[in-house]
Structure 1
């Protein structure tokens, strides 16, 4: 692995120094439930200003760190299953793909981290997160290029004035291990300088196996550091740095036959055991906040992300017809990818009264600079069948490629949003954005409006209507001439529109939030790619006329009683292609009509809590022609936490069982890259807080 020496020195020294030098302070003990934060009242990523969910005219789900920790989640996908509006796509090549309200989230524009566009072509370091905001519907007005389903905003843990020092360890029945350190506190007496540091070392052994009998493995290191400095009463500075190294054996997914059944065992990996991916990701940047006066403030943000990946592929290719034991072809190659993602923004926010009404005004601009470079060397194809000796790893290296392929573009946008409070019952939200992309042969510019009206029949409730638009310019003028058989067609920008009506209501002394919404989303210009059996090309891509998703959502989140807490959601989606000569009336891949999710905790005592969860997904199509279906499934998870007091320290012990009934089911992906779910999984964890 590659490490930044400066970062490692700082991040390792700070927690121990702060803990060793901390002075004894008076501790006030508060009795009551330790776990009390299922419900979150605000999602800043939705509006980029500090307003409650009841003042937000769109559907937003916030998944807090409490649930992440209770589920012993190690990937973003494990967390996002708590919101039924998200379903999994393909998980091939050590990354995760998701659909939100049935639309795929793009790695380049479907994810945010603390309000910055975030290149998400890898499994996210969720140990650094305090919550995850699922912002539904087109959000291009505030963030530029984004899809119609919405955005996932990952909110990172912030520095604390109080000293914290937590060590954690967990394992499972396969022998996987994860060791974590989470530390924070003040670095000076007046607490104006604070930090938060996270270290993770993880080694994973998967249930799935290569055909030579080796189990797939993964090694991951994460180091993250955030420092806050209050320069004055009006000026604050935050700097951040994180580094991830993630190396894993490759698994491009399982294969389905014409009946939608898995070919072979659910543990079988078609890739060779020597295929791997090795990823290095660095993020660093700063945010400055200045209070201009009592009504206005300005925030500036900058983040630089570098993503380097080597992918040594065996590249197995599923034949048009295939039965277990027959030969298939692998086309090995070694490839190096270099992505660089630079984001900047400036926001002016004001809270003032004008003409007898209150305005919460946002005026801002943001930009993205994108660069991508690729080196690739191929080897001769090999044929292989189960039971044969595995072909040797080819003697090739991307470093011998002297023909660098690269692509780059930049875009910027200027936006305005005003939340107008007319009186105690009525609010109106207005906004618009001008956006421009600069790219050779793919320039694009647009203006997007947004409108919302909110009615509050009481302080506990909101009824709202909203309209928003989104857009996604294509990254190139035409398709890849080396891989796609339709490489000559010219590509248009993708656009989307959404209308949504919803209600949000707080019950049980504002401890339980109920919500519901009805939505209608249309998208034009989506690219539909499918693998083909062709010697010269890998895919066939067409551009859809219109894709329309209509449906409704219901959700409940918070405390039902002093001891029972829930996070639950249900969604129904009617999705189909319209005005399309190839797929008229068809349903997109991996869009279930019904999905539901439930996670709950019941506190037996102040020290012992039980968890139970159920996750349902309706049948889905595995191909665009809608000839192959994946069956519906329900997964049951359970768990328990017990707290032990050890010499004024807290030890939390947790035991979880995922897929309690050992259900066999398929997750996301098509006929040649579907994810076969793991069987029953036991996880044991201990966390010691000093």
Structure 2
């Protein structure tokens, strides 16, 4: 019999040091989780079980406020650099004082002075605060005979004083990180950026058994799916605007993330920046403006890792995952991270089966001045005998959805293949100047019945006439970026200047073959007619996106005021070609400038951050294809979406909240019937309020989620016919509440619960069709223990606990998507 040692709790970043007393969250923070659950319809049982917490002491000054830190071991200068960045203070230091010294890091809750004291313990150094609020590093005792204090060269360490590529530490509870990548500005702390951002960690991905990026983003109240659950493509809606699977970034670069599903096994973070981000990331390949979703690949940690996982998903999907990480060298400069995963078997869709294979490797080098990384992955997904589908309706009556898992497309099949490699690097030209560059390529190929999976013009009885679409196609991407980041001071003002350039080339081809129509019913599906093989795809489009950006983040009053200003010049070049003759059919070449302005103010110390921003997004302008129009063939300039946002962030060290109000307007093309011309005067305007919360309410209780209220209006439509209508696919209320509870009387056991709520929404611009709201409940548990000296975690969860059937949302004007049936997930992870 194997020996089982006492259980161990789930691995969590410590929120405080056991030897240093830390303030507890306020009663308001302790009430956030239960209030969120109550708002979304969860029972009060879990909320009642949460312990009440004492009021924190008032914070009078940044240096006196306690804050939770988790600074990794490393060289002393790195540790001090990261600590000063997290604390939001400036540190002047002579590099000779820290040369050759190592640090064990810092974990716990400290005031700024206590943190410096702990980091410098035994180093023969001290940090002294000056009258201007900046800190200076000095020897504990001045050299004998020294009559005056030495004048040290000012080496500024601040929230932007470390590598812009350095990964922010996890926040208390470990589900969300302290910061995320802000496009060309690099990684930044959540309290220092004038945007609403979230970064979901690998720990959250593993504990929630999230197999794709879509599974991760269920946690975010600003994000919803626009394709049916289980579809081979995952598309999203952020703040009510579409973001397609093509628009995901990999390590800050577009055109390199997997098309279709984005598997999570090789992903360390899934980052979401809400709202347009043209200055920060450039124009997305498909022109999505609702936000930026960035995937951060895994890196080898300082400790060796050999982790093997096995999982099961109903109906009979079995999978395995190997995660291997090692570092080499005297200072562990070289890292290797390998991830391999496979899954095969039947799905929740009646009669359908899927197979997926993934192989990924991440190599990195971290030297004193040079840092390099190379990521490569190959991902293949096959579907057999069916596909999730979408439906439109013949009149104002929206038919009720069929039983979840109903398969309208038996006999269809499809395959997606992604292969990519990305090389990145940064080099410190001087202490305050860093050059960076990256280049990557992706080859994507698709074939089979993977698009056009819909039931059109469904009657109230459920009957419709269907067709199937057999496709073949490809997209080859080449993406590159380069730039320089510099830190400087002009008197009392600090600067982080960034000059960057990007280029993305996309070459694509597609061909499609359509079947004859056939009669079917969503409640009693007929066997579909399958379209024949379309042949190999010819080249049909070629796009080049180039841009140059300049930005400066100015800091005042000891980092209490941060002002970011910048502009990006973007050029969009697109050519299209006939799929039959190969002749060029269109040539698009337009440019645009997209500015941005952001402000962060910390009037009450580092726990509070007030922010505002104005930023623009960019989409390719339309071409008039109506041959009867007076301006047939006219090409419009790129569309500029505009966002105005303001908000407040509150960080207690254990609970973080963001409350924001926003307005995003997006133009579009419309027709003036009186003049028989098209123009770019169409517009959709979304206004809303968002609240996000994450962290731990108590040592054993963690919360994740939020609520979004959105009012989406069509403000300019053709002939004014739909002016004032609600934009389709923009529900007024969306919310997510997830709780985790480590049972105190049974160490190692964690109970989990989640509620996902979406209110009613219109599914067409005419506002003649709408679907009711819905609520999904999930529940689960995990148990962590040591078996024969090895850490083992068992996880079990059920999604859509009540097995309800509902239309979840919309895909394009007039089409609805359906939810997945009740789904069981089981997994076991062993660390060797």
Q: What TM-score, normalized to structure 2?
A: 0.71
Question: CA offsets per residue over residues 261-312 of structure 1, 9 Å max, x none?
Answer: 33543332222x2212201101102011111111011111111011000024
8 Å Cα contact 1:204-1:219 kept in structure 2? yes
Tell me the distance in 2 between the aligned counterparts of 1:319 and 1:277. Answer: 21
From 355, 361, 366, give the equivalent of 2:491: 355
Matched, 1:48 2:185: yes
8 Å Cα contact 2:314-2:347 kept in structure 1? no
Corresponding residue number in structure 1 for 2:480: 344
Corresponding residue number in structure 2 for 1:196: 337
Once the two structures are TM-superposed, the CA of residue 446 in structure 1 deviates from its matched residue by: 0.9
Q: What pairs up with 1:362-441 in 2 under 5 angstroms? A: 362-383=498-519, 390=527, 393=530, 396-399=532-535, 404-424=538-558, 425-440=560-575, 441=587
Once the two structures are TM-superposed, the CA of residue 375 in structure 1 deviates from its matched residue by: 3.1
Corresponding residue number in structure 2 for 1:59: 196
Once the two structures are TM-superposed, the CA of residue 555 in structure 1 deviates from its matched residue by: 1.5
8 Å Cα contact 1:170-1:178 kept in structure 2? yes
The structure-2 alpha-carbon separation of the partners of 1:189 and 1:407, relative to structure 1 and needing over 3 Å to count, comes to same
8 Å Cα contact 1:434-1:448 kept in structure 2? yes
Tell me the distance in 1 between the aligned counterparts of 2:175 and 2:345. Answer: 29
Which piece of structure 1 moves more, 590-599 or 659-668? 659-668
Once the two structures are TM-superposed, the CA of residue 624 in structure 1 deviates from its matched residue by: 1.9
Matched, 1:659 2:804: no
SS at match of 1:69: helix
Tell me the distance in 2 between the aligned counterparts of 1:422 and 1:34. Answer: 26
Tell me the distance in 1 between the aligned counterparts of 2:325 and 2:253. Answer: 23
Tell me the distance in 2 between the aligned counterparts of 1:527 and 1:642. Answer: 57
From 490, 497, 508, give the equivalent of 2:642: 497
Once the two structures are TM-superposed, the CA of residue 583 in structure 1 deviates from its matched residue by: 2.5
SS at match of 2:617: strand
Corresponding residue number in structure 1 for 2:323: 182
Corresponding residue number in structure 2 for 1:8: none
8 Å Cα contact 1:90-1:673 kept in structure 2? no
From 203, 214, 222, give the equivalent of 1:77: 214
Matched, 1:444 2:581: no
Q: What pairs up with 1:255-270 in 2 under 5 angstroms? A: 255=391, 257=393, 258-262=396-400, 264-270=402-408
Matched, 1:608 2:761: no
SS at match of 1:37: coil
Corresponding residue number in structure 1 for 2:27: none
8 Å Cα contact 2:763-2:814 kept in structure 1? no
Q: What pairs up with 1:603-682 in 2 under 5 angstroms? A: 603-605=742-744, 606-669=747-810, 673-682=815-824
Once the two structures are TM-superposed, the CA of residue 150 in structure 1 deviates from its matched residue by: 1.2
Corresponding residue number in structure 1 for 2:654: 511
Question: CA offsets per residue over residues 299-345 of structure 1, 9 Å max, x none?
Answer: 11111011000024796764545355746242x44321110111100
Once the two structures are TM-superposed, the CA of residue 686 in structure 1 deviates from its matched residue by: 0.6
Which consecutive residues of structure 1, in runs of 5 or more, have no partner in the other structure? 1-26, 210-214, 529-540
From 553, 576, 580, give the equivalent of 2:717: 580
SS at match of 2:279: helix
Instruction: Please give the root-mean-square deviation of Cα atoms over the aligned residues, in Å.
Output: 3.1
Matched, 1:335 2:471: yes
The structure-2 alpha-carbon separation of the partners of 1:421 and 1:317, relative to structure 1 and needing over 3 Å to count, comes to closer
Tell me the distance in 2 between the aligned counterparts of 1:85 and 1:325. Answer: 32
Corresponding residue number in structure 1 for 2:730: 591
Question: CA offsets per residue over residues 551-573 of structure 1, 9 Å max, x none?
Answer: 11112111111111111211110
8 Å Cα contact 1:496-1:521 kept in structure 2? yes
The structure-2 alpha-carbon separation of the partners of 1:180 and 1:317, relative to structure 1 and needing over 3 Å to count, comes to closer
Q: What pairs up with 1:112-261 in 2 under 5 angstroms? A: 112-118=249-255, 121-146=259-284, 147-188=288-329, 190-209=331-350, 215-230=351-366, 232-249=367-384, 250-255=386-391, 257=393, 258-261=396-399
Q: What pairs up with 1:316-335 in 2 under 5 angstroms? A: 318=455, 320=457, 322=459, 324=461, 326=463, 328-330=465-467, 332-335=468-471
Question: CA offsets per residue over residues 436-481 of structure 1, 9 Å max, x none?
Answer: 122342111111111112110112111111111111114x734599
Report the number of matched residues.
634
SS at match of 1:226: strand
The structure-2 alpha-carbon separation of the partners of 1:451 and 1:314, relative to structure 1 and needing over 3 Å to count, comes to closer
8 Å Cα contact 1:54-1:504 kept in structure 2? yes
Tell me the distance in 2 between the aligned counterparts of 1:126 and 1:263. Answer: 30
The structure-2 alpha-carbon separation of the partners of 1:629 and 1:323, relative to structure 1 and needing over 3 Å to count, comes to closer
Tell me the distance in 1 between the aligned counterparts of 2:631 and 2:516. Answer: 24
Question: CA offsets per residue over residues 89-117 of structure 1, 9 Å max, x none?
Answer: 12385111111000001344x32111011
8 Å Cα contact 2:588-2:635 kept in structure 1? no
Question: CA offsets per residue over residues 414-452 of structure 1, 9 Å max, x none?
Answer: 111111111133221111111112234211111111111
SS at match of 2:308: strand
Question: CA offsets per residue over residues 487-523 of structure 1, 9 Å max, x none?
Answer: 967453321111111111111xx12111111111111
From 215, 218, 237, give the equivalent of 1:99: 237
Tell me the distance in 2 between the aligned counterparts of 1:196 and 1:590. Answer: 40
The structure-2 alpha-carbon separation of the partners of 1:333 and 1:450, relative to structure 1 and needing over 3 Å to count, comes to closer
The structure-2 alpha-carbon separation of the partners of 1:688 and 1:489, relative to structure 1 and needing over 3 Å to count, comes to same
The structure-2 alpha-carbon separation of the partners of 1:321 and 1:432, relative to structure 1 and needing over 3 Å to count, comes to closer
From 519, 523, 530, give the equivalent of 2:666: 523
The structure-2 alpha-carbon separation of the partners of 1:635 and 1:356, relative to structure 1 and needing over 3 Å to count, comes to same
Tell me the distance in 2 between the aligned counterparts of 1:256 and 1:160. Answer: 49
Once the two structures are TM-superposed, the CA of residue 683 in structure 1 deviates from its matched residue by: 1.5
Once the two structures are TM-superposed, the CA of residue 35 in structure 1 deviates from its matched residue by: 8.9
Tell me the distance in 2 between the aligned counterparts of 1:464 and 1:315. Answer: 43
8 Å Cα contact 2:172-2:696 kept in structure 1? no
Tell me the distance in 2 between the aligned counterparts of 1:376 and 1:238. Answer: 39
SS at match of 2:265: helix
Once the two structures are TM-superposed, the CA of residue 143 in structure 1 deviates from its matched residue by: 1.8
8 Å Cα contact 2:391-2:457 kept in structure 1? no
Choose 1 or 2 for highest CA Rg: 2
Tell me the distance in 2 between the aligned counterparts of 1:310 and 1:430. Answer: 44
8 Å Cα contact 1:39-1:512 kept in structure 2? no
Once the two structures are TM-superposed, the CA of residue 676 in structure 1 deviates from its matched residue by: 2.0
Once the two structures are TM-superposed, the CA of residue 142 in structure 1 deviates from its matched residue by: 2.4
